[in-house]
């Protein structure tokens, strides 16, 4: 038998396979397209014959709703650090009214009991202030300055003096600006020491009756350029006048 003559059984089987392929291609849309483009005898690709199920896109996630301006934290709602105590103290100190220190004050509350001038043939180089308390009234620095002397100037300052006792008794000198010095005599007690800085109104001692006295009082002097002057005009020039 010649090679090109095939048995009828083989021809029939081949025809049946071709017919089955044609039907399969016609049933599939992709196969129909392939058959239209490549003829009835074209075999569809495995992908065309068995299309994979389409995957639907994942549902999109909507963005989280943004906070409206009213819902956002306001500056007042945010926790602000409380100021430090030292800052509060400094603010209170600045807001507190400041005490104005005068330039000059009267050295003691009292009335003028003796003036400046010659008395009993001797210069009384200051004024005497008394208030009838019998001693112990506070004595103040008349102005800011430095204590240059604080000592007993009589033979004895431990008890009451007399006209027979010489000296100022317990005495304090204070040097001020402009070459001015003030003197405070006959003190019962002194509470400052030489070299100490004082301001107008600082407590420096207490009224007494030490040294050459007839009773308790404050002897007050003002020296300018080393010479004693009448304290009354000087005090009045600074708006002060003892009664």
Query: Who's near 211: CB < 8 A, 6+ residues apart?
Result: 153, 154, 157, 161, 165, 166, 167, 168, 169, 170, 171, 185, 186
The pLDDT confidence band at residue 93, using thresholds 50, 70 and 90, is low
Phi and psi dihedrals of 120, rounded to 5? 55, 35
Neighbours of 166 (CB within 10 A): 12
Determine which of 24-33, 82-91, 123-132, 195-204 has the lowest per-residue pLDDT on average: 24-33
pLDDT of residue 134: 87
For 129-145, the pLDDT digits (tens) are 999 888 999 999 999 99
Please state whether 110 falls in left (phi above 0), alpha (psi between -120 and 50) or beta. Answer: left
Higher-pLDDT residue of 120, 200: 200
CA atoms in the 13 A half-sphere facing the CB of 68:
2
pLDDT of residue 81: 53
pLDDT of residue 175: 98
Query: Which of 48-62, 71-85, 119-133, 211-225: highest mean pLDDT?
Result: 211-225
For 6-56, the pLDDT digits (tens) are 444 444 444 444 444 444 444 444 343 333 444 434 444 444 444 444 444
The helix/strand/coil state of 234 is helix
Residue position matching structure tokens 């020039």: 237
Determine which of 57-66, 113-122, 149-158, 225-234 has the lowest per-residue pLDDT on average: 57-66
Q: Percent of the chain at pLDDT above 70? A: 59
The β-bridge relationship of strands 218-224 and 127-130 is antiparallel
| pTM for this prediction | 0.61
Does the structure show a pLDDT above 60 at 181?
yes
Does the structure show a pLDDT above 70 at 76?
no
Alpha helices in 46-122 (DSSP H): 46-49, 85-95
Distance between CA atoms of 29 and 36, rounded to whole angstroms?
Answer: 11
Retrieve residue 123's tokens: 């210069």
Q: Where are the beta strands (DSSP E) in 120-237?
A: 122-124, 127-130, 138-140, 145-152, 170-175, 180-190, 197-198, 203-207, 218-224, 227-229
* Beta partners for residue 189, in sequence order: 206
Neighbours of 59 (CB within 10 A): 6
The pLDDT confidence band at residue 120, using thresholds 50, 70 and 90, is confident
Q: Considering the chain, what is the average pLDDT of its residues? A: 75
Distance between CA atoms of 123 and 128, rounded to whole angstroms?
Answer: 13
Task: Yes or no: say if 213 and 161 are a contact pair by the CB < 8 Å rule.
Answer: yes
* Beta partners for residue 224, in sequence order: 180, 227
pLDDT of residue 154: 97
């Amino acid at each position: 038998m010649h090679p090109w003559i095939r048995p009828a059984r083989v021809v029939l089987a081949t025809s049946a396979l071709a017919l089955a392929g044609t039907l399969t291609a016609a049933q599939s849309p992709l196969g129909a397209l392939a058959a239209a483009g490549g003829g009835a005898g074209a075999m569809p690709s495995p992908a065309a014959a068995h299309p994979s199920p389409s995957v639907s896109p994942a549902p999109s996630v909507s963005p989280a709703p943004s906070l409206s301006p009213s819902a956002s934290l306001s500056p007042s709602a945010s926790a602000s650090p409380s100021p430090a105590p030292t800052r509060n103290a400094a603010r209170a100190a600045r807001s507190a009214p400041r005490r104005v220190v005068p330039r000059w004050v009267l050295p003691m509350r009292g009335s003028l009991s003796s003036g400046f001038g010659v008395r009993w043939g001797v210069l009384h180089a200051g004024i005497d202030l008394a208030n009838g308390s019998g001693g112990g009234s506070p004595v103040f620095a008349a102005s800011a300055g430095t204590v240059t002397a604080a000592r007993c100037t009589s033979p004895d300052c431990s008890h009451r003096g007399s006209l027979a006792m010489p000296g100022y008794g317990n005495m304090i000198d204070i040097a001020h600006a402009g070459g001015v010095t003030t003197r405070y005599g006959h003190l019962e007690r002194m509470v400052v020491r030489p070299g100490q800085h004082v301001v107008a109104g600082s407590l420096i001692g207490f009224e007494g009756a030490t040294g050459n006295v007839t009773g308790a009082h404050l002897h007050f002097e003002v020296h300018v350029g080393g010479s004693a002057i009448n304290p009354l005009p000087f005090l009045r020039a600074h708006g002060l006048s003892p009664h």
